[in-house]
Structure 1
Amino acid sequence: MAFKTIVDGISRNPAVIWVKIVRNQFVYKAFEYRGRASGRRLAKELQGAGVSRVCITIAFNTPWVIDALTKAWEMHPPGMTLVVVDNSTKIAAREAIARICEMRGVPYLALPMRVEKHLSRSHGTAITCAFHNIVRHLKPELFGFIDHDCFPVAPFDIPSKLAGKTVYGRRAYGNENHVYKAKPEDRHWNLWAGYCFYRFSAVAAYKLNFEPRINLGLDTGAANWAILYSKLAEADVAVATVEQRPMTMAGAVGHHEFIDGAFFHLAGVSYPERPGYHHRTVEHREMLRDYVWNTYLGGPAGQTVSDF
């Protein structure tokens, strides 16, 4: 316990945090450079197709989730073109995800392969790379990012939420459920990187960065507090509502999240007898997949893969 206290103290030291940020920026720049040419090619293709409202999801090792998301987007298109950017660390997963996107006509880009132990930073740098290598060259009217397990399951129009606004999304504050907590009087916030949307013309001058900032008590996307969010007036922000809804699966009653009444967020599932990570076993993933398809996507006949 004493050792952990010392380690935590060192990790929170401002100098240590600064050194880590500099190190991470160096590693990120090398990663961004490796994916620059392919990202710009995709941006050019999207421009040629007349895409002006783009929503990017970061895929990560779970083909069945991308299968469900792309199907949900077909059934309830929320006014933006879906693009899959693949950050998977498994070659088989990348191959399966690429096939799904090809079958559904969804633009797909594989990021350079890498290994990053910090999952939030891996996700954040993948989003940042997509912004700088795709969005900044596409110059769309609107753009945004959505978690690969956040499915539109009811009619909804994202662009209407951005009418007269700079940003729209699910807001998270510092000091919420994090080990590294900001001071109580600090109300830093960011838009959750799994559901955030922007008017490009209003943010084009900013070098957005979607990395976490543990010193602020904020997860993926928190680096944008200093870059963008702290500069916005409240009238510039449209905030999505989040509610917990019950679900029953295999005799257990849990809850999942609904965002603005239209987006089912799978990561919100919890079970009394299975606390913690809910994708733990193949059997459990099968149950989750079947629940999603049977409840929201018209049954398993529409599935294109069975891979997990």
Structure 2
Amino acid sequence: MRDLSHYTFTEWLAAAPLAHRLRRARNRLVDRVYGQRPAAGQEALVERLRGAPVLAFTVAFNMPDAVALLADAMGRFLPGTPLVVCDNSTDDAARTDIARLCAGRDLPYCPLPPSPYRGKRNGSRSHAVALNWIVANLVRPAAPGVIALIDHDLIPLGPEDFVQRVAGQPCYGLVRHGTGNEAWYLWPGYSVFDFGRVAGTPLDFGTDTPLTLDTGGQNWDVLYRTLDLPRLRMASRRRVYLADVETGESEHFMLTDNWLHVGGAGHRGGGAGALARVRRAYDADPDGLLASLLASGPP
């Protein structure tokens, strides 16, 4: 939470500090109550994951095709890294399809308890409570060596070594900054943690509205502010252009390290279409797609 001295006179007149503190207290209460709700098969899943050297977690949301593409790409480029699919879908049919997909591919699967945040406007909070549930109920009892948090529509296009990413540092990922302040956080769609080094930290993937930090922003106070960012290795980011293999039309995407982000596949208009275009390009040339994107330019 932002220091009270950082509020402007106008914000004080509008009682912003009180509103922010009340909202934060409410969010913590919701997280605590939700975190105590069990998931089907939770204990058996913890036993399956216990002591793994590295685990990747993705929060699935209403897009079985996104999970399928992520699983295919990780199976190709990260065959030694288990992908744990934690299903936060609000659509029952999608949950059924994702569970069936994971069973067919022997992917660790966890049907998260129904989210207390169901509307589209609460997407950040829904993602946050899901991540906090995962850390409390799966990660902490399983105690893996390294964990990676991956968006369900973030696709690897080359080999990845998460253990090496955090060698000599507690975390790694794509940095995002607050507006008008020094605060920063790692986008939880691509972040890696040496869990042995952060196990004693009360990780919190909630938003920090006063500091303009989205999902994962509460980790600024408990972890990131103690780190010297310029001394850390962090992910690269660049815009790339993908030509549709059927129409030839080009669309821009974000490439972070060797991972292609479809972007809002479960939320924004046209997301399913964007995912389908990426799927076609991946199927056409999975091993050459990264080089093609790196060589791409605006249409």
- TM range, smaller chain: 0.7 to 0.9
Kindly report which structure 2 residues correspond to 1:48-87, keeping only aligned pairs within 5 A, or say none: 51-77=52-78, 80-87=81-88
Conservation of the 8 A alpha-carbon contact between 1:39 and 1:130:
no
Match of 1:214 in 2: 209
Match of 2:270 in 1: 279
1:152 matched to 2:150: no
**Match 2:183 to one of 188, 209, 232:** 188
C-alpha distance after superposition, 1:182-221 (max 9, x if no partner): xx3x210000010011111211111111111121111110
What is the Cα deviation at residue 115 of structure 1?
A: 4.6
Relative to structure 1, the CA distance from residue 20 to residue 246 in structure 2 (aligned partners, 3 Å threshold; closer, same or farther) is same
Conservation of the 8 A alpha-carbon contact between 2:54 and 2:162:
no
Match of 1:104 in 2: 105
Match of 2:146 in 1: 142
Paired residue total: 273
**Match 1:46 to one of 40, 46, 49:** 49
- Which sections of structure 2, spanning at least 5 residues, go unmatched? 1-10, 289-299
**Match 1:33 to one of 11, 31, 36:** 36
Kindly report which structure 2 residues correspond to 1:224-243, keeping only aligned pairs within 5 A, or say none: 224-234=219-229, 237-243=232-238
Relative to structure 1, the CA distance from residue 102 to residue 229 in structure 2 (aligned partners, 3 Å threshold; closer, same or farther) is same
1:19 matched to 2:9: no
Residue identity (%) = 32
What TM-score results when the alignment is normalised by the length of structure 2?
0.83
Whichever residue aligns with residue 263 of structure 2, its letter is A
- Which sections of structure 1, spanning at least 5 residues, go unmatched? 1-7, 176-183, 270-275, 299-308
1:257 matched to 2:254: yes
RMSD over aligned CA atoms reads 2.8
Conservation of the 8 A alpha-carbon contact between 2:239 and 2:254:
yes
What is the Cα deviation at residue 141 of structure 1?
A: 1.0
Name the SS of the counterpart of 2:19 in structure 1. Answer: helix
Match of 1:247 in 2: 242
Cα separation, 2, equivalents of 1:73 and 1:219 = 26
